[in-house]
Structure 1
Amino acid sequence: MINYLCHVCDKTFRVDAIRYKCECGSPLNLTQSEMCFPIEEIASRDNNLWRYREALPIASEASIVSLNEGMTPLVSTSSSVCDHRLKLDFVFPTGSYKDRGASILLSKAREAGIREVVEDSSGNAGAAIAAYSAKAGIDCTIYCPSTTSSGKLTQISMYGAKLKLIEGSRAHTTQAVLQATGTTFYASHNWNPFFLEGTKTLAFEIAEQLGWKAPDGVICPVGFGSIYLGLYIGFKQLHDQRVITKIPRLLGVQSVACCPIYQAYRDNQPQIEKMALEYNTLAEGIISELPVRSQMIMEAINSTDGAFTVVSEEDIEDGIKILARQGIYVEPTSAVVVKAFDHFVQTEVIRYDDLIVSVLTGSGLKATDKLTKMLSM
């Protein structure tokens, strides 16, 4: 039986419809039985993330909420530095990788008989939770910062979710939604561990697309860490099962505007300290003054010999344009990986014989208003 496990005090709890954190205030993980899916059968299964069914914590097939998400393209680049590939993890029903977590989380909600959920989001997670709630027939309310891209807000509303706009910082949005979590299932992509069970399938796909081998490193944008931690969980499970011989270095990117994880990494600190947002950044999807899973993020950095870097607004704009001229249209948060790759090469985190995968997390169609404004300047 799967239970909740506190990463800080080691308390366990049965999976409960309302509980989303430990009594000590820390986020919860899931206790894991040995993961074992039959590698030899995977290739013949449906081309979505549910091909890894045995590794996903949903007991009932009838509870699965799916829009055929997953198995996004892995494409080569023309890099002269190393073997550098791009994982187009925005090729999803709602336009972002957040569909991975939403599919598992809403499947769990359906399995538990949940009728209503709430979530707070800077946009993409809200759209994913709203879409999969609609598919599941579950009522949904999404809290978003008032500065969220209008395209994302329209998308959330079109799925039939109730939309509540909150003035102030991203943290104010979280504070607002927490007032509703006492009686309603908190379908949080940051707090709920079932969301990470979806994002871990990104690691499974990368390994499968590389012939069941791990790359030397994976670069991804990091705010609250749902993709970074999903990669950590997924690659660790593959390594524990001896499917892969190593866990890749996990290389995170933050915006200079708000980079508490980078600061902890740079200063070799044992824990992440809160950092206020210094200015509004194009990369709205990775604004996090203090990730709720800070301890687990530090564990992932240390366990994988990971590294972090930061990018400026100019770097982000350059990244958007560089990718667009390769035929790849992404939102600003995704584009942070472009100049981050260069930074990691310059600091010799990436070596010339490495195989590196950069994850592109959201479609440019999500941020048309911001990108239109950028072009006009």
Structure 2
Amino acid sequence: MLALMTAYVCPRCRVHSPVDALTWRCPRCHGPWDLEFTSAPVSLTSLGSRVNSLWRYEEALPLATETPRVTLGEGRTPLVPLTDGVSAKLDFLMPTLSFKDRGAVMLAELARRLSPRRVLADSSGNAGTAIAAYCARAGLDCVVYVPEGTSAKKLEQIRAHGARLTVVPGDREATARAARAAADEPGTFYASHVYNPHFLHGTKTYVYELWEDLGGRLPDTIVVPVGNGTLLLGAALAVEELYGHGLVDTRPALVAVQAEAVSPLAAAFHAGADEILAPATVRPTLAEGIAIPNPPRAGQILRAVRATGGTFLTVTEDQLHTAQVDLARRGLFVESTGVACWAAVRAAPGREGLTVLPLCGAGAKTGLSPSSTCRA
């Protein structure tokens, strides 16, 4: 079974590692892995009779060689119009109420096959919740590192799935450092949504679903929130696969959104840089889920946006609050990080053709943001 798995490869050093070695990053440059995997074209006409989860796109997914597979029925979230020319994909309707289920199911399936002593994840909340839920489904021991100040509702959700919590003093970066130190312990599978590329191959199903929903085409513009870039890089993977297999005629522009308070990628993009200029100062923001000062895949994110003719947009704290309230008045209660794209589209309207954005996390996880929070 393990022989059927693909290998990890470092995009910088070209160092390879077998997937079953539990090596979570490149041993030479300490950067994140990519995956040596070649997708096959998905037949649009065959999808009507397939399983109603992201595994329906099995030709495009690693780990699709064996059944049954870990699943909670994730994916296939609704695509609904917001205004003329703008639609939202309701990824907050996933089993754990965030888009992170798309990647978590892939990591849990991989861990199930590798049978580690424990699975370890670090998160500001949503990724940890998703990993905890899918590990519970797979019968895997799981520990989740979270920063102090994580939403009590998210902590409750992680505990409910049976995962053990380690609360780390400090911010999200301190939590990541603590988890990475523990990830090298023998028998540990580091279910990192940043370093493990299987997560990106899960998030790319977001675009495959758009392609299916739109009858074999893609929107003109896809707007996504970016912190560590897992959804954007997954979207870029899917766009290149669909275009490369001749299943779409054009590539949509990928537009990335960051909070103005913590926006190292936007600054680098508009400066024409290939990497971030310097780690950002972490300032308080309602969009805490994308407040990443030094994303490990920064260069890949910048290249992906430029390759599609896209751009970076930033949003203020007032715009985030207003967007959350506006969506709630439209019947969609979304957490404050998850409204970033709608905030950006409201502030910069006028794109031609169809624009699609994700609503990534449920408002029930964090509540409604106060309008005065985080104003500088």
What TM-score comes out, normalization by structure 1 length?
0.93
1:342 matched to which residue of 2? 346
2:38 matches 1:72: no
Q: In structure 2, what residue type is equivalent to 1:90?
A: F
Unaligned runs of 5+ in 1: none
Deviation by residue 1:251-294 (Cα, 9 ceiling, x = unmatched): 11111111001001121112113333442111111010111111
Q: In structure 2, what residue type is equivalent to 1:264?
A: A
2:169 matched to which residue of 1? 167
* 247, 251, 255: which one aligns with 2:255: 251
How far residue 221 of structure 1 moved from its aligned partner, in angstroms, is 1.0
CA distance in 2, matches of 1:222, 1:101: 15
63 and 20 in structure 1: CA distance in 2 versus 1, 3 angstrom threshold: farther
Indicate conservation of the 8 Å contact 2:219/2:355, yes or no.
yes
Alignment of 1:43-62 (within 5 A): 43-62=48-67
How far residue 375 of structure 1 moved from its aligned partner, in angstroms, is 9.4
1:143 matched to which residue of 2? 145
* 281, 285, 307: which one aligns with 2:285: 281
1:330 matched to which residue of 2? 334
2:103 matches 1:129: no
What TM-score comes out, normalization by structure 2 length?
0.94
CA distance in 2, matches of 1:196, 1:376: 32
Unaligned runs of 5+ in 2: none
Deviation by residue 1:339-367 (Cα, 9 ceiling, x = unmatched): 2113433xxxx53x321001110000110
Indicate conservation of the 8 Å contact 2:336/2:369, yes or no.
no
Residue identity over aligned pairs, in percent, reads 40
Indicate conservation of the 8 Å contact 1:277/1:287, yes or no.
no
1:32 matched to which residue of 2? 37
Decide which moves more: 204-213 or 6-15: 6-15
2:310 matched to which residue of 1? 306
* 199, 217, 220: which one aligns with 1:216: 220
Task: Determine helix, strand or coil for the equivalent of 1:67.
Answer: coil
Deviation by residue 1:132-155 (Cα, 9 ceiling, x = unmatched): 000001000000111111111110
328 and 260 in structure 1: CA distance in 2 versus 1, 3 angstrom threshold: same
Decide which moves more: 24-33 or 152-161: 24-33
CA distance in 2, matches of 1:318, 1:327: 14
* 111, 126, 132: which one aligns with 2:113: 111
How far residue 166 of structure 1 moved from its aligned partner, in angstroms, is 1.0
1:358 matched to which residue of 2? 357
Alignment of 1:290-301 (within 5 A): 290-301=294-305
CA distance in 2, matches of 1:121, 1:235: 27
How far residue 114 of structure 1 moved from its aligned partner, in angstroms, is 2.5
Task: Determine helix, strand or coil for the equivalent of 2:340.
Answer: helix
The alignment's C-alpha RMSD in Å is: 1.7
**What is the number of residues matched between the two proteins?**
367
Indicate conservation of the 8 Å contact 1:220/1:360, yes or no.
no
Task: Determine helix, strand or coil for the equivalent of 2:366.
Answer: helix
Indicate conservation of the 8 Å contact 1:7/1:296, yes or no.
no
Indicate conservation of the 8 Å contact 2:89/2:358, yes or no.
yes
2:9 matches 1:10: no
CA distance in 1, matches of 2:146, 2:72: 24
Decide which moves more: 232-241 or 12-21: 12-21
Indicate conservation of the 8 Å contact 1:319/1:335, yes or no.
yes
Deviation by residue 1:306-347 (Cα, 9 ceiling, x = unmatched): 2111111101000001101100000000111122113433xx
Task: Determine helix, strand or coil for the equivalent of 2:20.
Answer: coil
How far residue 113 of structure 1 moved from its aligned partner, in angstroms, is 2.1
* 85, 88, 91: which one aligns with 1:89: 91
